[in-house]
Amino acid sequence: MRPFRSDRARLNAIASSVVLAVVLAVIAPFGPSALAAPVPTDAATAEVQIEAMSGALSTTMKSYAVAADDLARTRAAIAANSKKAEKLDASIKSGRTRLASQVRFLYLTDGVGFAEILFGSTTFEDFVNRSLALRRVTARDNMLVNQLSSEQAQQTSLRAELARRERTQTALVARLSEDRAAAQRALDVQQRYADSLSADVAAKLDARRFARNSGPTPVASKPKAKAGSVVSAKIDGRSGSYAVLSGQPLRYEPTGMSFTGIATWYGNVRPNMGTASGRPFNENELTCAHKTLPFGTRVAVTFRGKSVIVTVTDRGPYGKGRVIDLSKRAASLVGLKSAGVGSVKCEVVRPQ
């Protein structure tokens, strides 16, 4: 009986392995989150899961930022070294021309000795001048040879450094692409997770958010912050201008991470209102709430042809299809305030 039971156990184990393989093959296209993040039925569990996703995304985006900074420094070093190489090339070319000229002079005067210089001179001063000229040419010749040797050694070293920097640049570009793709996948997974929440859970998450953001000691008489002036910024490779407040960077670079969906907006619903980042909320600043993007991240938001660059300082919104919550000022600049809600295109950018 034991051998029979053993065989049956092995058959059961094989069958279980086959079933597991089939299940994994079915969920594989959805990524590991399909197993790791079951849809919760309560707001507390959902909040914990979203915060875990936010931490993972923050790690990926930090890796991207480090690679982007390294790439910028490498490209700057390549540009500087290229300029040095160009100057060396010009100096070497000029030195070779001068050396060729002096060698030609020595060739033409080759074999001219003391007697020829003495008898060929009309005066003693002429003799001295001709002797000194020949010696100076020879000395300059030696100096040029030494200079050219030094510059050619520098050129060889510089070319080797350029080649090394270019290899580093290639590796950094590949790493940057991987980090960007990983961050984009994480953003997509997180939005799908948020969209899977029930309306009741999403409403409770937003309620918890505003309850947490209320100040412990409201001050009704607190004066409103003055609105800063709006200026235009540019994003490399993008047409059009983007509204920012004066004092903010005016040039940005795209990261390749983007998302679309429904945007909402919010203002100072109560005095002394705070944000999830700990920063006091000011509806006159260009800020936003996002479920998982690291605090301080800049996002270019476009609505009906108008664009603004906002900074992530808060968490939310959690309703199905909603991807970003703009401050009142930011919403006004793109026309979302009057619309209430609307479909927007968002792109994560970095200040230059």
Return the beta strands (E) in 136-250 as ranges: 230-235, 242-245
The separation between CA 201 and the C-alpha centre of its own chain, rounded to angstroms, equals 35
Shared domain for 345 and 236, answered yes or no, is yes
Last residue of a domain, one of 133, 156, 185: 185
Shared domain for 132 and 228, answered yes or no, is no
Q: Is residue 52 part of a domain?
A: no
pTM (two decimals)? 0.71
Q: Is residue 150 part of a domain?
A: yes
- Is residue 311 a contact partner of residue 287, using CB atoms and an 8 Å limit? yes
Q: Is residue 165 part of a domain?
A: yes
Could you tell me which residues come within 8 angstroms of residue 44 by beta carbon, excluding any fewer than 6 positions away? none
Shared domain for 181 and 238, answered yes or no, is no
What is the pLDDT at residue 172?
95
Shared domain for 289 and 176, answered yes or no, is no
Shared domain for 243 and 317, answered yes or no, is yes
Last residue of a domain, one of 185, 213, 244: 185
Last residue of a domain, one of 185, 200, 234: 185
Q: How far apart (Å, rounded) are the C-alpha atoms in residues 131 and 138? A: 11
| Residue whose pair of structure tokens reads 């003693």 in the numeric block | 124
Shared domain for 278 and 334, answered yes or no, is yes
CA distances from 273 to 23, 160, 211, 222, 267 (A): 47, 58, 10, 11, 9
Q: Is residue 91 part of a domain?
A: yes
Helix and strand totals (H; E) in the chain: 8, 8
What is the pLDDT at residue 11?
39
Phi-psi region of 305 (alpha: psi -120 to 50; beta: other; left: phi over 0): left
Q: Is residue 2 part of a domain?
A: no
Shared domain for 232 and 119, answered yes or no, is no
What is the pLDDT at residue 256?
92
Q: How buried is residue 265: exposed, middle or buried, by Cβ count under 10 Å (0-12/13-18/19+)?
A: buried
Q: How many distinct structural domains can be found in the chain? A: 2
CATH at 245: 2.40.40.10
Q: What is the pLDDT of residues 37-55, one digit of tens each?
A: 566 678 999 999 999 999 9
Q: How far apart (Å, rounded) are the C-alpha atoms in residues 63 and 115? A: 78
Written as six digits, the tokens of 267 are: 């203002």
Q: Is residue 9 part of a domain?
A: no
Q: Is residue 193 part of a domain?
A: no
* Domain hosting residue 262, numbered range: 224-351
What type of residue sits at position 138?
T
What is the pLDDT at residue 96?
78
β partners of residue 185: none
Q: Is residue 38 part of a domain?
A: no
pLDDT lower than 70: segments of the chain: 1-40, 99, 102-141, 215-227
DSSP classification of residue 222: P
